[in-house]
């Protein structure tokens, strides 16, 4: 399946709408449908494990993790399910930019006992979708993500949501994403055309296998067909 994705222009930023990379009612039919297909496949994988939490990751930085996790969260929320998107990238957070919300306090501050979940969660950034931003960039992100307080926070939130989606840093740069392995059903891995190499993919598979966790699926982004490239240079997303 090949799907057109939004243009790189962020022309909606000024009028307060979400960035063009996120899907909305105005998005092309094919884009929305592709995320629905990805959503269905992820739901099947989750239901096999009777689980509701998964993380989105990739091998290198800038491959599209935050964009994909945001779009999956939007897609899941359209099913009238309560969804929480958590920005677990405590080093280069981006989810708050995509949804244009405040990030002065968030996940790191809850774990650091500076505030409570209710103080920092952004309710209904779109209907049914709550957003927990990363918060203040801490000196010790890995320690925070394997702390007992983080685990107990997620366990408490588990009861309040139908789906919880984690955006994470790249596995090839830091091991933070793998620290979530005991909380989640598995990883959705983003591969970017002309960026992710076979070596990257192999290293990532090795890391995930070593961590004894699961891959729920791959989403390939930035695909440009030669036919379309010659016309307008659209980007495509593919889900396997």
Ligand X SMILES: Nc1ncnc2c1ncn2[C@@H]1O[C@H](COP(=O)(O)OP(=O)(O)OP(=O)(O)O)[C@@H](O)[C@H]1O
User: Which range in 25-33, 60-68, 133-141, 155-163 contacts ligand X by CB under 6 A?
Assistant: 60-68
Task: By CB under 6 A, tell whether 64 contacts ligand X.
Answer: yes
As given in the structure block, the two tokens for residue 168 are 């994470």
# chain residues binding ligand X, by CB under 6 A: 18
Binding residue for ligand X, selected from 67, 75, 128, 134, defined by CB under 6 A: 67
Binding residue for ligand X, selected from 58, 109, 134, 196, defined by CB under 6 A: 58
Give the nearer residue to ligand X in terms of CB position, either 162 or 193. 193
User: Which range in 42-50, 61-69, 190-198, 226-234 contacts Mg ion by CB under 5 A?
Assistant: 61-69
Binding residue for Mg ion, selected from 20, 22, 27, 94, defined by CB under 5 A: 94
As given in the structure block, the two tokens for residue 147 are 């702390």
Kindly report the number of other CB atoms within 10 A of residue 139's CB atom: 6
Phi first, then psi: give them for residue 12, nearest 5 degrees: -90, -5
Distance CA(68)–CA(48), nearest Å, equals: 22
Binding residue for Mg ion, selected from 57, 58, 66, 238, defined by CB under 5 A: 66
Q: Residue 27 contacts by C-beta under 8 Å, 6 or more apart in sequence?
A: 6
Q: Residue 59 contacts by C-beta under 8 Å, 6 or more apart in sequence?
A: 170, 171, 172, 196, 200, 201, 203, 204
Report the largest interatomic distance among the alpha carbons of the chain, rounded to a whole angstrom: 54
Binding residue for ligand X, selected from 27, 35, 55, 63, defined by CB under 6 A: 63
Task: By CB under 5 A, tell whether 34 contacts Mg ion.
Answer: no
Binding residue for ligand X, selected from 27, 75, 94, 103, defined by CB under 6 A: 94
Task: Match 């950034």 to its residue by tokens.
Answer: 125
Give the nearer residue to Mg ion in terms of CB position, either 62 or 156. 62
């Amino acid at each position: 399946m090949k799907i057109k994705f939004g243009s790189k222009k962020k022309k909606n930023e000024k009028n307060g709408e979400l960035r063009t990379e996120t899907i909305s009612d105005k998005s092309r039919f094919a884009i929305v449908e592709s995320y629905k297909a990805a959503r269905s496949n992820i739901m099947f994988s989750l239901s096999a494990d009777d689980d509701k939490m998964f993380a989105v990751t990739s091998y290198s930085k800038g491959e599209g993790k935050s964009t994909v996790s945001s779009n999956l969260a939007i897609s899941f929320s359209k099913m009238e399910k309560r969804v929480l998107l958590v920005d677990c990238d405590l080093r280069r957070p981006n989810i708050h930019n995509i949804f244009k919300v405040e990030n002065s306090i968030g996940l790191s501050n809850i774990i650091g006992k500076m505030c409570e979940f209710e103080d920092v969660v952004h309710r209904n950034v779109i209907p049914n979708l709550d957003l927990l931003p990363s918060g203040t960039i801490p000196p010790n992100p890995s320690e925070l993500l394997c702390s007992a307080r983080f685990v107990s926070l997620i366990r408490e939130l588990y009861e309040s949501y139908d789906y919880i989606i984690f955006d994470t840093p790249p596995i090839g740069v830091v091991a933070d994403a793998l620290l979530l392995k005991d909380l989640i059903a598995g990883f959705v891995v983003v591969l970017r055309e002309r960026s992710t190499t076979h070596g990257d993919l192999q290293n990532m598979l090795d890391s995930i296998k070593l961590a004894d966790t699961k891959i729920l699926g791959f989403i390939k982004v930035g695909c440009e067909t030669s036919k379309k490239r010659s016309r307008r240079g659209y980007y495509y997303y593919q889900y396997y």
